[in-house]
Structure 1
Amino acid sequence: MKTNLTLIRNIIQIAFALFLLYLGVQFYFFVLHFETGGSTPLVQRPPGVEGFLPISALMSFKLFVTTGFIDPIHPAALFIFIAILVTSFFFKKGFCSWLCPIGTISEGCNRLGIMLFGRTFKIPKLLDYPLMSLKYLMLGFFVFVIFFQMNNFIIYAFLNGNYNKIADVKMLYFFTNLSLTAAIVLSILFLLSILFQNFWCRYLCPYGALLGVISVFSPTKVTRNESSCINCGACDRACGNRVNVSSCQDVSSVECTGCLSCIEACPKEDALKLKFIGIKAFSPKVYTVGLLIVFFGIILFAKATGNWETNITYEEYMWLIEHADYFNH
């Protein structure tokens, strides 16, 4: 009897999303303490919110790779970024389909679309491929600017600038003080995600594009046994990323998120397998546990080595948040 992989994955997705929501609420009350001049209780700042600072993390990553320097302003951003990269190498784009909150929202929108219209729609191939290039163009822009246009001195200056120090606070303000333009853009993206499965992830997410490129070199792949395959196409229909699993021997597509829906849908037990370096087969349970251990293990390593909490002082936060309107990138 097969394990209900989708149910397990959804439970992990929702649990992680609720945890991030808790961190967001905690961070809100942390900022509120400084906004009110200390009249509200001081809540401990959750470093995990730095996971929503990908640009700062990418700059910090370049500085770390080239100099070994760990940014003390947002060290959690760096190690969360590294954790995501490492899991994407060993477990395909598993972060996207098992932990990413945007991925969770996208799947929720897909289900809503099916409830409302009985199905979701597909953008024709004539437009699909050009649209898919958008996320790679955005990724290329960020990589070019940060790795080729900005030297380490400029990056160090940015990371230590007042704007970057409260970039997480600015991100909070983006949602708590949502502008009309931002609300319209988010509403359009929400609608498109209801109509077209994984619209943001497939066409616009530069983070996902980076993880897709890394995942191509992953030693872990879904492998199809041609002698066992009955060519029923169930795997293709189950894939939310439009990967033609039934035509692959090893699924190496940059769009494969390691959701394992193809394996779950396959009626032949030996037709689709997870394999490491194309040799060692292992179960989806091992994949799931391994992904979680690697991701959270790197987080625990950062905490154990003192590279998790920011070095910004209470007094500095008080001044920075009081003058937050003056700091712009």
Structure 2
Amino acid sequence: MKSSLFSLRNIRRLYGGLSLVLFFVLIVITDYRFMKGYEVNIFLKLDPLVAIGTLLSTGTIYRGLFLSLAVVLLTIVFGRFFCSWLCPLGVLNQILSSVKPDPSGQFRYNRFRPLYRLKYYVLAVLVLLGLFKVFQIGLLDPIALLTRTTSTLVVPAVNRATGLVYAKDFMAQGGVALAVVFVLVIFANRIVPRFWCRVLCPLGALLGFFASFSVLRIWRDEQKCTNCLLCLKNCHGGCDPHRDLKFSDCHLCMNCLEDCPEGAIHYGIEKPSSVPQGSVDLSKRRLVETVVFSAFLVPLWKSSASAEKKPSARLIRPPGALPEEDFVRKCIKCGQCMKVCPTNALQPALFEAGFDGLWSPILVPRIGYCEYGCVLCSQVCPTGAIRPIRPEEKIKRPIKIGTAFYDRCRCLPWAMNIDCI
């Protein structure tokens, strides 16, 4: 089919490009100098996986996350559009995957593989952990992952090279670990195009589940199809549009519609002449193994050195943070609060808060101090792990974030009985 300027594929490219640009713009303006009431965490609020995860772990949904319901409803109507049209990590992976590891093997790379079912088992593990109040969705959620990486690694690196983003150099402890994870996600595209999206993404798996009930979908007219396989050439999801298209894995990239020379592939309500479509086909044995693995993982996770059982002197949460147990059940480790902190005091935790608190925000006084009248971290938190507070609340009714101790044996003003300032 001949492509036009206003084809669905080009419209999808436009939306995807704008979403990626908007994401990075919002990351940059998540700064004390530029915060003007913009919804800098809009992508996180649109994330259904974050909403469902907080619902499972806390029994409630933070008010801002109700926006994600719109994504779910639109997915049930139109299909899994989010991955190729709006998801910044999905768009980024597609751009990087456009440089094929082997251009002659595009058809082979874009066929469906049993490996692509892995993301559904990853989702199942995260959901089961959430049911047992172990909230780790933020570690693998694509929006949280990209936000965390760009906020604490990519943008600071750009600033160090150009000096255009921050007033001073930004640093993040544990940056090497964050870099390794991000590099693996990016370079996995050299093995399988859109590896993260096809194989590991739990948000994609969740949307794929909802998409299996969608009203509109890609379908192939068997009477017109000549089995030329050109629909495989640029398929984003690897969903086998030339066979029994697996719509739960279809990213609605619309490439197959444009690439089909016979006009045999359509988007809309299925017709009687369409080829039967495949659904999410998961092995019952693998599902049982997933449940058993999750059941084993919960006590193992909870028996690790947690902040509740073994408090760390370095565990200082941002002002307005909920009690520790509630905080780790809501925090998705997105890094927004760290990005907006004007003094660079908020840092990603390593193991100060146990495994539950990995990459969650902690205040490190050796790096920076908590600005007395600043409440920006409470304004950008998408899940309410840091409750919204006002400057006057922080100043007039001081919010305690920790207790300071000093060594009197080393304090000269104390020994000399004089004021230190």
Which TM bucket (shorter chain)?
0.5 to 0.7
Aligned to 1:266: 260
State the partner residue of 2:221.
Answer: 225
Q: Does structure 1 retain, via aligned residues, the 8 Å contact 2:239–2:246?
A: no
Which of 83, 91, 105 aligns to 1:96? It is: 83
Question: What is the aligned counterpart of 1:46 among 38, 42, 47?
Answer: 38
Aligned to 2:204: 208
Q: Which residue of 1 aligns with 2:336?
A: none
Q: Which residue number in structure 1 is paired with residue 25 of structure 2?
A: 22
Instruction: Give the match's secondary structure for 2:128.
Output: helix
**Alpha-carbon deviation of 1:244?**
2.1
Residue in structure 1 matched with residue 126 of structure 2 by the alignment = 142
> What do the CA deviations read for 1:212-262 (whole angstroms, capped 9, x no partner)?
1111111112122222222222112332322222223xx443211111111
**3-state DSSP class of the match of 1:93?**
coil
- Looking at structure 2, the residues matched to 261 and 103 of structure 1 have their Cα atoms a distance apart, in angstroms, of 15
1:284-315 deviation digits (Å, cap 9, x = unpaired): xxxxxxxxxxxxxxxxxxxxxxxx99871233
Q: Deviations over 1:165-209 (max 9, x none)?
A: xx9997744765261122122112211113420100111100001
Residue 85 of structure 1 corresponds to which residue in structure 2? 72
C-alpha spacing 1:143/1:70, structure 2 compared with 1 (3 Å)? closer
1:275 corresponding residue in structure 2: 268
In 2, the alpha carbon distance for the partners of 1:168 and 1:253 equals 26
Q: Give the TM-score, by structure 1 length.
A: 0.64
Whole-angstrom CA distance in 1 between matches of 2:260 and 2:111 = 26
Could you tell me how far apart the structure 1 residues matched to 2:12 and 2:119 are?
Answer: 25
In structure 2, the residue matched to 1:244 is 240
Note if 1:12 corresponds to 2:15.
yes
Distance in 2 between residues matched to 1:105 and 1:59, nearest whole Å: 24
8 Å Cα contact 1:220/1:278 also seen in 2: no
Say which structure is richer in helix.
1
TM-score normalised according to structure 2 size: 0.52
**What does 1:99-248 align with in structure 2 at a 5 Å threshold?**
99-113=86-100, 118=103, 128-129=113-114, 131-146=115-130, 148-150=131-133, 172-173=151-152, 176=156, 177=172, 179-248=175-244
Mapped to 2, the partners of 1:105 and 1:46 lie a distance apart of 23
Work out the CA distance in 1 between the residues paired with 2:224 and 2:56. 46
Unaligned runs of 5+ in 1: 31-40, 156-166, 282-307, 325-329
Percent identity of the aligned residues?
22
1:293 counterpart residue number: none
8 Å CA contact retained: 1:110, 1:120: no
Instruction: Tell me how far apart the structure 2 counterparts of residues 227 and 321 of structure 1 sit (CA, whole Å).
Output: 70
User: Structure 1's 313 and 44: CA in aligned 2 closer, same or farther, altered over 3 A?
Assistant: farther
After superposition, the Cα gap between the structure-2 partners of 1:134 and 1:225, relative to the gap in structure 1 and judged at 3 Å, is closer
When residues 21 and 100 of structure 1 are mapped into structure 2, their CA distance, relative to the original with a 3 A threshold, is same
Q: Higher relative contact order by CA 8 Å / sep ≥ 6: 1 or 2?
A: 1
Distance 1:276 1:169, change over 3 A: closer
Whole-angstrom distance in 2 between the partners of 1:312 and 1:90:
35
Paired with 1:244 and 1:118, the residues of 2 have a C-alpha distance of 18
3-state secondary structure, aligned to 1:112: coil
TM superposition shift of 1:144:
1.8
How big is the alpha-carbon RMSD for the aligned residues of Structure 1 and Structure 2?
4.1
Which amino acid letter does the alignment assign opposite residue 247 of structure 2? S
